[in-house]
Structure 1
Amino acid sequence: MSENQATHETIAQAFGRTTDPLAEYDGRFKQLDVDPFQLWLEEQVYTKDYAKGTVQALERPIDQWCEFMAERHDRHPAVPTTSHVMDFAHYYLEERDNSKNTVGVKLGTLSRVFRYFQSEPAFPHPTDFNPFDAAKGKIDLNGDDPKEPRPIPLEELRNVLQNEVKHVRDRALIVMQFKLGLRASETANIKLSEIHIANAELQDHYEELGTHPALEGRPNAVFIPHDRERNKSERPRVLPLDDELRRVLLQYLLCRPDNGEPWLFLSKSGGKKVGHTNINDVWKKYFRPEYGPNERYRGVSSHYGRHYFTTWFSIEREWPRDLIKYLRGDRQSGGKIRSTRDAIDSYIHAWYEDIEDRYREDIYKLRI
């Protein structure tokens, strides 16, 4: 629980209130054989003389919201918390590369639906709480985002990494995100046990290195869990480490603070687990202001490696969509995966062998 959330809880308890006033209605909404969002569309949209494009623009965020809640939260979409809405907004901002304006429009549409629930006597929604409006007040949606990530030629990226990023930890962080398409939070959450590098000196020094069961029989690879806090992926995955990434990781691990922390990447001061915001600061340190935001492009940040990685495999190498989904940790057909050892082993076994050799052959070389 965050410090602010704890403060909210304290205030609510003092006045006999709750920070989750809709929770009590979740079970009953799940039991209903009706769709309250469809009811809003039928009464507030389909009865109006709207153009087809307008109708679709109102339907789309509803479909996206309901799908998001079904896949990521065990909660009926008609009775969310503010945190659910904020997760939804951050997902479309950070993972789907939506602009702030686009996300603001989505939340505006969903707020209209919620106000309809509040105005109809059949619905139990209190009139003093709208989670969509509450979330909008806590997220920076001001200002127009550039529509596209900045295109940087591979040779320019090589130049930055070779000549600008000299610190061994910072270089390892950035190269890992470029090579594997990882989110900052996923990178911060890697444990020593979840990465294997075939090097006798490292293995002797770090006894736990590469001991995770998912890495058994898979040398020079990393395991990325899907259910660790802030990882956001739908599926776990094992990804190969190519020779360049192994080299920069070896350089880092040989001088990494030896303080008993289980995490791969540690902060420069204090030797604690590095945070996802710290990783974003690392990217900005080396790529800005030269590759900062302008009128056309968004500035390079820690999400840029994931974008570059996805674009490379989908456009430059024309990989099948299902293989790219595996690389990214996206949901495949079949819905959610059970977080059991057998389910995870079966899923990874079905995909890793398909991508390992092909990945090592196709991944871009950074010449470091």
Structure 2
Amino acid sequence: MATSSPANPNPDDPVGYFLQDLLYHGKSERTRDAYERVLRRFEGFLSDPDRNPSRRTIAPGEATQRDCMAWIHTLRGDNAESTIATYASYLHRFYAYMTQVGAFESNPMALVVEEMHESIDKDPTRREISVEAMREFVGEIGHPLERAVVCTLLKTGMRVGEVSNLDLRDVNLADEDVRSAYSLGARPRLDGRPDSIFVGTDAVRGQVVNGEERTASNKRKRDTIVPVDDELRRVLVRWLAIRPDSPSPAEPLFVSTSGDWGQRLTPKMIRNVVERHARDAGWHRTGGGAEENVTPHYFRHFFTTHLRDRTGDRGIVKYLRGDVASDIIDTYTHNWGDRVREVYEANIYSLL
């Protein structure tokens, strides 16, 4: 485990320094162990002159894009492509963080990840559901809360924990009635961005955010502003018209209308909603695997597949999913946000 302080921008043990940061951010021991195994393995590769392309012992801060790609190449043959993609993402996050805190000058994995062209959909073969079939599925959901939750998952590609963590301050809707009833869109990043949802990196399980301890973490690599189209706005407005008052100072967007009246919907509650409707549609079976059952994560797969096929723009889909770090987004134009909205609104499917 790390021994250096997070205040030290030049740690003697950069891997340990990063692992300590994961601890501070509430990552589980299992997650930290997984990162350590991968990063120490990479560190060993760099220290072996007979294996790395530099032909000398080098530290992680000295590694080049070529060194990183050479290590990725050593993984092939013994590991599945999805495993290699996971290891690459671990290394990418390590370098992105060390660059952000000023310990390293650059992130050699940024270009490597782009060059790999690994699929952003790492799911196993899944049930194929057309937009038309999904539209019929949503049409059978009558409760405003449940329809709003399902539509938010389907039209944004957000993770279940991210939907659970949404507060009223994270949602900016261009509707006078709800704006007069609620304080929406108070996030500074939403200023001047109507019909948008802010998905931050600040929500961490077990930490107090906006006055409430969170039960789930947002797993984003960077803060993301997701467009809200006319259809999703109408669904959210309909929900807000009946939303119960919440005792939470955070003012959650989605709250229970049953036994836990007014309390934030937890990821488990959201999964239960999706499972119940999926069972009714014949899309969920007890004991069924990921290739068969429709879950909130399937909705993320659905969003990824259909929007990527419609746009042909992997970068924008990866941004909306929260899979792209700042050093990649910064390679695009200064009007990135406008471009995302234009492409999204021109290609997002209708569900109602």
Q: Against the structure 1 CA distance between its residues 160 and 31, is the aligned structure 2 distance closer, same or farther, given a 3 Å change threshold?
A: closer
Indicate if the aligned counterparts of 2:138 and 2:147 stay in contact, CA closer than 8 A. Answer: yes
Quick one: distance in 2 between partners of 1:209 and 1:333? 26
Equivalent residue for 1:270, pick from 261, 266, 269: 261
Percent identity, please.
28
Counterpart for residue 131 of structure 2: 154
Equivalent residue for 2:313, pick from 314, 320, 323: 320
Quick one: distance in 2 between partners of 1:41 and 1:160? 58
**Is 1:216 matched up with 2:210?**
no
3-state DSSP class of the match of 1:174? helix
Structure 2 gap ranges (5+): 6-10, 17-39, 52-72, 99-119, 205-216
Q: Which has the larger radius of gyration?
A: 1
Matches within 5 A, 1:115-134: none
Counterpart for residue 103 of structure 1: none
**Is 1:257 matched up with 2:248?**
no
Quick one: distance in 1 between partners of 2:87 and 2:15? 19
Indicate if the aligned counterparts of 1:227 and 1:233 stay in contact, CA closer than 8 A. Answer: no
Quick one: distance in 1 between partners of 2:173 and 2:334? 20
**Is 1:199 matched up with 2:175?**
yes
Counterpart for residue 299 of structure 1: 293
Kindly state the Cα deviation for residue 226 of structure 1 after the two structures are TM-superposed: 2.4
Quick one: distance in 2 between partners of 1:298 and 1:232? 25
1:121-169 per-residue CA deviation (whole Å, 9 max, x = no partner) reads: xxxxxxxxxxxxxxxxxxxxxxxxxx31211122211111112x11111
Kindly state the Cα deviation for residue 363 of structure 1 after the two structures are TM-superposed: 0.8
TM-score (norm 2): 0.63
Quick one: distance in 2 between partners of 1:211 and 1:296? 37
Quick one: distance in 1 between partners of 2:340 and 2:301? 19
Equivalent position amino acid for 2:316 in 1: L
Q: Against the structure 1 CA distance between its residues 64 and 168, is the aligned structure 2 distance closer, same or farther, given a 3 Å change threshold?
A: closer
3-state DSSP class of the match of 1:56? coil
Counterpart for residue 364 of structure 1: 349
Equivalent residue for 1:30, pick from 7, 10, 14: 14
Quick one: distance in 1 between partners of 2:91 and 2:289? 34
Indicate if the aligned counterparts of 1:326 and 1:351 stay in contact, CA closer than 8 A. Answer: no
Counterpart for residue 175 of structure 1: 151
Counterpart for residue 90 of structure 1: none
**Is 1:234 matched up with 2:216?**
no
Kindly state the Cα deviation for residue 59 of structure 1 after the two structures are TM-superposed: 9.7
Quick one: distance in 1 between partners of 2:75 and 2:131? 40
3-state DSSP class of the match of 1:148? coil
Indicate if the aligned counterparts of 2:311 and 2:347 stay in contact, CA closer than 8 A. Answer: no
Equivalent pairs counted in the alignment come to 260
TM-score (norm 1): 0.61
1:256-282 per-residue CA deviation (whole Å, 9 max, x = no partner) reads: 112353110112323111111221111
Equivalent position amino acid for 2:221 in 1: E
1:61-95 per-residue CA deviation (whole Å, 9 max, x = no partner) reads: 578447416616979xxxxxxxxxxxxxxxxxxx9
CA RMSD of aligned residues (A): 3.7
Indicate if the aligned counterparts of 1:238 and 1:348 stay in contact, CA closer than 8 A. Answer: no
Indicate if the aligned counterparts of 2:246 and 2:262 stay in contact, CA closer than 8 A. Answer: yes
Quick one: distance in 1 between partners of 2:294 and 2:270? 12
Kindly state the Cα deviation for residue 205 of structure 1 after the two structures are TM-superposed: 0.9
Quick one: distance in 2 between partners of 1:161 and 1:148? 23
**Is 1:310 matched up with 2:299?**
no
